[in-house]
Structure 1
């Protein structure tokens, strides 16, 4: 027989007579391979013998170990094609199968790998990339929010703090540059991996077009699996920089301005990624773990000048250094209010007739009974003399408890059921009133005389649905938490609505559920979000500033909050009946 070229040649077998046409028949007498025309001539050569010719089937490649020998069968134990000599040399007693059997198995495996790369690995890598891109796009806006807060603090300090402000903003810009570079580099690595996946997929698909089944089997043996390609890359968890404000003390200018905390980026393993709906693709699961980021609030509505559109609802605290100071034991089965009277003491009330004084140093509680006969005070505040003013929902009354003598005096009765109340800057009293799913806020003088009621806005629409918590700030704005309307409503001294704040309902959040409310020395509003286990901070113009505390800080159903003179937050937890104290601002 004629000699052969490369043992892995993929050309059709040429007729060994004419050397021009492809072989179609195999002579069983001499094993020559001939074309259809030469088969008749070849028949004459064996005129004295019976010609046993068979149509040529699939022709395999040549054995790598035995020159001139074609693969005949496959060793199933070693999963390689073998020739007759291979069986004798090293595959004796091994299980043999036809080449087509192993070919079909390896073909199915490669098709499975291609399907996995196309339908699972690539989409999951693409989701990781989408999440990284979404975070990358927010980095400048997050850093801009911090820059705006820095600017606000700098304007208050004016020229005295200008140098510190410039240093801090420069440091922030450098953080932003480094963070963007880090994300860009990591996304480039993911792009390289996605490119490799595409190339490997194309290579695998090309193997399915090989003329010799044996070569596909050899390729599969040389590439048994794709473990390096199946590894989903790490994502980067981004914690943006945040600004920690200091005390307003000219003697300690640097401490007043605060300290810029650096951002952080962490590699985070992706445990499981699910294909999101079109609405949620921008908020893939890994981006939720990348949440807790400062967001830039939107401006006033140009049409009304009152209602504000919502910033993204999840934000990291400006005060990452917030720490737990005290966790009091359970005081009531259900706790409703807390009011600080000093950095060490606060009055609390719940669904019980008495009122208790909490002592931060000793951790003890001192109880004083009230005349509430059902579920305890529906609201409570403390006047400038240290006496307790509380409301009785069922009796529709407001009473005073003189703490020194423990005398009880009913100040006045209300037409609707009173809820929370507070004392204004001119010793006036503001009371939240509700009846039949309607609400209003009434203003009384210190003698209990009704001065004015706030019911409708300038357009004649009802201001409230169920005003439940109330306080005033230093410029005498009236801040109301409306639990049924899911909003914070702020009025000026004349009762005109300045703004109405709501938070958006994201996919992974409960509706905004405002409860207890207080203000800081800058007039910013501290609000309890009961349904989302959070305490947030909004500005005195209705802009979202920060999430001060959340369930990661150990909050469980907070319902009221009070800020003392040392910038500690006293938080009342409704269901646990506990009071927890946190150091928020340095």
Structure 2
């Protein structure tokens, strides 16, 4: 239990002798947790020890053996070479170099990292969470607004369809009027032609009836009581049918009438 997170909520026991009271202090030299009761005796017995409040403690340097001297711990940092080495290596190969306490460097790094981690937890993560929530709401708003636009576009399309349908119905009405007019004229000519045909058939019938009983003396004086002008019927006029000229479908003009997306 040498390293207890700053955020730990469990009971931190004093590990000085058999004492198990709550620890308020920490010995950065001996790496022991110290309670308020043991703090003064510990200072008295270990005058060179650095005792600080528990939250200001230094973490114990993790154990790592030197590859050249397996029985030695790496505990020194060469300031010139910036290499962590054991005491023997430093004495042998870094005689004229300055050294620094590796544990101090280790704790400085941990302190900076912990500060960054705390900032991440307290600032960046809440900001990111708020941004995510904001983006979720923004997505829903966008979906809602686009749905409204789609409804508006559909309504406009229906209006254009109704307009086209109205134009079609107006043209149908005109066509009906033209059709009735043309059919009326043709019907009138048809009736006149049938009457004329009946008239000609009557002339033939009267002629054949007359010829069957006429005397020779009367035949010389017989004349049909008709004239060429009567026999000739005026030529019927050709019906004038309506024509339909396709208009130019201009997609750009239709798009202007429909509306634009910006």
Question: Over alpha carbons, which structure has the higher Rg?
Answer: 2
Q: TM-score, normalised by structure 1?
A: 0.18
Instruction: Tell me which protein shows more strand as a share of its residues.
Output: 1
Instruction: Tell me which protein shows more helix as a share of its residues.
Output: 2
